[in-house]
A = this chain, B = another copy of it.
Amino acid sequence: MLQIGLLGLGVVGSAVARGLRERASELDQRAGMPLVLRRVAVAHPDRPRQVPVERDRITDDAWAVVRDPEVDVVVELIGGIEPARSYVHEALRLGKSVVTANKQLMANRGRELMEAAEASGADLFFEASVAGGIPVIRTLKESLAGDRVREVVAILNGTTNYILTRMDEDGLSFPEALSEAQRLGFAERDPTDDVEGHDAAAKLAILASVAFNTRVVRSDVHCEGIAKLTQREVAYTRELGFALKLVAHARDLGEAVEAAVYPALLTSTHPLASVRREFNAVWMRADGAGELLLYGRGAGGEPTASAVLSDLVAVARNRRAGAHGRVACTCYHRKPVREAGERVLAACLVLRVTDRPGVFAQVAAAFGDEQVSLHSIVQQNRGEEADVLLRTHPAPERALRAVLHRLHAMSVVRGCSPLLRVIA
């Protein structure tokens, strides 16, 4: 049998404990052995809980769980880098396999931990760390092992996608949509990580590492959030036929890779354009398979537990076959991660400008001076200040950012939206 030590019994941990109980017979047959929850470490062992775990299996001593000689595999659901890193490291050092849902840990300390796993011949699985119930890590490492993935565009944060869907479909403002998401449990009380794109950036670092076989860490990922978006940008760009989404975008350029999170405009036929509410999706382009899309629930206790339980079955199957470490670290390249300065994309911008003759010319000059060709400038309303929607032809990222810099310095420009890159 496979004896499990569980660290953390929150929403995901409880769903894992329930799954082990309710699906015991199926898991047993698939794994070739019973999966048994031996010990659980939590911060408050005496808190009442609706989980099928006997009180005497619960402790507040995570080290005791990690070092229990009867524990074969440690499931880490604490989150954050420390002390999770120390526990995972110790478990691996002791030759135990580890299953984690911890995106911060894998995005920041993935290399060190994968090396520790390889050194002791243990498995370190992290399917649940990216996109919850969507099985994208194993798809990249195994199902596409015979292919070459060149590009990934993904919606990896359900909170922001929910907010943008409500702003788009129901005309809510950003603050309105955010409070609703908080009320429904889709957003944290402090929503910074989600709305600033940090959550998606950590997940993209992991995804890009696995997709392109080279290490990408959190700090490599350029990150722009949606906190400054208003109903104006959503409404004006919808009229152009675009869907505004927070996307995680990574490309393998051969000698280097790039990875960034930013609000983007998707053409209405793009498979990601119809991903609504809290759903996540990962679109990929590979040499052989062509375009692929995986769509599903990217968060929540049950979907995330589904990934954890599947990783546990993989650990058991490897144990049974004597094959721990069968698919270990796949980052065999050492490619630099470069700023996306050379990338060529069209973009839209919404400016709030002083409404007087000559302003179009002044604004247009900022684009011309950086060799960015304009597709259209359309004034959206009138008043002392007016909104102007600008749309460029494809131009290098570097030039677009230089334009933004010039616009910010102009006295006629009273406000400027985030840069909205267009993904066709």
Contacts and interface: CB of A to CB of B under 8 A. Distances in A.
A142 B330 contact: no
A318 interface: yes
Nearest to A288: B306
A158 to B, nearest CB: 12
Contacts of A26: 148, 213
Given A290-B297, A292-B296, A135 B139 contact: yes
Contacts of A303: 288-290
A306 B143 CA distance: 9
B289 A306 contact: yes
A246 B15 CA distance: 36
A138 B143 contact: yes
Contact of A322 (B30, B133, B291, B323): B323
A326 B316 CA distance: 10
A161 to B, nearest CB: 15
Given A146-B27, A310-B142, A327 B332 contact: no
Contacts of A309: 145-147, 288
A23 B146 contact: yes
B147 A127 contact: no
Contacts of A143: 127, 135, 138-139, 307, 310
Given A143-B127, A147-B309, A317-B326, A293 B291 contact: no
A259 B159 CA distance: 37
Nearest to A312: B146
Interface in A313-338: 313-314, 317-318, 320-323, 325-327, 330, 332
